[in-house]
Structure 1
Amino acid sequence: MIGERIIHNGELALPSEASFGLDDVDVTYGYGCYETLKIRDGLLYFPEFHEERLLRSASILGIAHGIRQGELVAALRSLAYANAVASCNLKVMLIGRDGRNADWYAFMLPPVVPQASAYSDGVSCLLFRGERHFPAAKSLSMLLSTVAYRAAAAAGRYDALLVNGRGEITEGTRTNVFYARRGSSDEIYTPPAADVLEGITRRTLIAALSESGVRTIERPLRVSDALSGEFALAVTSTSSRVIAVRTLFEGPGPGLAVERSPELDRVRAVYDGYLERYAARTR
């Protein structure tokens, strides 16, 4: 954690004021939801979208809260001003409570910046069978994601891509998935929103592609299709933007190379331009 202040229930506080008992089952059982935002060069990206998703996650999980519209955004801007950190990640945690409104916190973490080679060379991902509970909620129930991500990291992979019981790739443990048919420049695919957490980058990338005349179609991605060589894949997140997938691994053996495509290189360029325009009009 970085910075001298945090937010506790909408107010600036010291980190020492935030503590939990070992018998706090709401925390230890992961009864809550969270968001991760980014500040880069002093600019807080898409805070309204993150507030909207946090409150939607709370509703899905049945968590009562007293957060008014715009209150979270104002608190995050207050925290950014108080700590005066130019670039960082901002994490918001909302803890559900029995019989009263949720407690919520916001604090700063070091920025997550992928290595430059991830953009130039692409990354490798591990296919991992599992489905998140309440997939549309960004919940604190992180067991599946943690087990899958650690398995991927132990094998030297960038992320684990979750595979559901129908044999479809849904999402990464910390990324969304986009894919393109080779040779097709006017359509990009992504797994259906009903099966995944709708990332803020997913949402804004779809908007950016629409502005550039490219349709995004929600379409399941079967593992067999991903391994067929017919499609190029990319993963997206708040910190990484758009990164091509170079290799897919189903287990400890050799992986399958996924050839990069100009279609996904264009997707990344479109999104980078979208972020530049957002920064120019928001500062």
Structure 2
Amino acid sequence: MKPEAIREYLMVNGRLEPTSNTEIFEKIEKPPIYEVIRVIDGVPLFLEDHLDRMRESARIIDYPIKRKDVQIEEDIKDLIIKNGVKNLNVKLLCTDIENMGQVVLAYFIKSFYPPEEYYEEGIHTILFNYERENPNAKIQMLSFREEVARKLEENNAFEALLVNKDGYIPEGSRSNIFFVKGENIYTAPKGDVLLGITRKYIFQVCEELNIEIVEENIHKDDLIRLDGAFMSGTSVNVLPISSIDNIRLDSVSNKIIKEISKAYINKMREYIESRTL
């Protein structure tokens, strides 16, 4: 695995190590379980949800994580303090390494947060034929990531919507996808996708706003009948989609998407404020 830790230090099973020591990454051979957590003002956003999902990924592939949640939380806090970083993404990674046994790494990674113009103008997306073998487990597959990155660059796109063998679109390559038809929101059933943390809170705010979410996959042939669409994720929050291949969508002006985005940002602020008192 290529070294990806940035800043000065990373954590290895609670032990502080310099990121210049890349040997540990070179020893990682099998696809690891991982989580990416956004740190805002020194607070790991929705940390408990991320740790729960990481353990669920481990359960699905029958690979129990030995390090306790409270220990991992301390790892992240130490990482933030020692690096003097308050706004960046942290990656948690769990795997077996020869002569070390199970290892939990915590480190900062290069992070991209969409500029305001992306929210004002929407993003361009493409369709990409691919079906995850185990959509509910967050396991790092480098060949998939590299192929998607190449396609995105070729098409000057921000995200790829994954199309399964039957022509349905359950999710994005690194996000959950929501479609708007009339007054309803459509998104894939929970068994078909990785259950994003942002997705969880979007469900909450939609319930509070009395917006109905229909858990149903949308077929690629039905995209022309949409009123809007957006992607959600750790680094992007609620990001409107202005085009899917050659199909144009007026998502940035959609009232429902605007309401959901505003309510989700409020959820984020409430969480951060509750942990900075």
TM-score scaled to structure 2, two decimals? 0.90
Partner of 1:28: 29
Displacement, 1:146?
A: 2.8
SS of the residue corresponding to residue 239 of structure 1 reads coil
CA distance in 1, matches of 2:146, 2:19: 25
User: Of 207, 210, 232, which residue of structure 1 is paired with 2:207?
Assistant: 210
Please say if 1:259 is aligned against 2:250.
yes
- CA contact 2:7–2:19 (8 Å) conserved in 1: no
Change in CA separation of 1:168 and 1:99 when aligned onto 2, cut-off 3 Å? farther
* Identity score, percent: 24
User: Of 268, 272, 281, which residue of structure 1 is paired with 2:265?
Assistant: 272
Give the alignment's Cα RMSD to 1 decimal.
Answer: 2.1
Partner of 1:45: 45
- CA contact 2:177–2:230 (8 Å) conserved in 1: yes
Please say if 1:238 is aligned against 2:242.
no
Displacement, 1:221?
A: 1.1
Partner of 2:160: 160
After superposing the two structures, state which structure 1 stretch, 126-135 or 95-104, moved more: 95-104
The correspondence of residues 7-156 of structure 1 with structure 2, limited to 5 A, is 7-17=11-21, 19-20=23-24, 24=27, 27-30=28-31, 32-96=32-96, 101-156=101-156
Please say if 1:3 is aligned against 2:7.
yes
CA distance in 1, matches of 2:198, 2:25: 35
Report how many aligned residue pairs link the two structures: 270
The correspondence of residues 214-225 of structure 1 with structure 2, limited to 5 A, is 214-225=211-222
Q: Deviations over 1:96-137 (max 9, x none)?
A: 358985212111124321122210000010101111121111
Partner of 2:225: 229
Displacement, 1:268?
A: 1.0
CA distance in 2, matches of 1:241, 1:267: 10
CA distance in 2, matches of 1:80, 1:148: 31
Change in CA separation of 1:127 and 1:71 when aligned onto 2, cut-off 3 Å? same
Displacement, 1:168?
A: 0.7
Displacement, 1:45?
A: 0.5
User: Of 179, 190, 194, which residue of structure 2 is paired with 1:193?
Assistant: 190
SS of the residue corresponding to residue 28 of structure 1 reads coil
CA distance in 2, matches of 1:208, 1:279: 17
CA distance in 2, matches of 1:100, 1:88: 28
One-letter code of the match for 1:270?
A: A
Displacement, 1:191?
A: 0.9
Change in CA separation of 1:65 and 1:278 when aligned onto 2, cut-off 3 Å? closer
CA distance in 1, matches of 2:87, 2:43: 8
- CA contact 1:137–1:197 (8 Å) conserved in 2: yes
Name structure 2 gaps, 5 residues minimum.
Answer: none
Q: Deviations over 1:127-185 (max 9, x none)?
A: 01111121111102232233123202221001111001121111111111011113x1x
SS of the residue corresponding to residue 70 of structure 1 reads helix
Change in CA separation of 1:156 and 1:42 when aligned onto 2, cut-off 3 Å? same
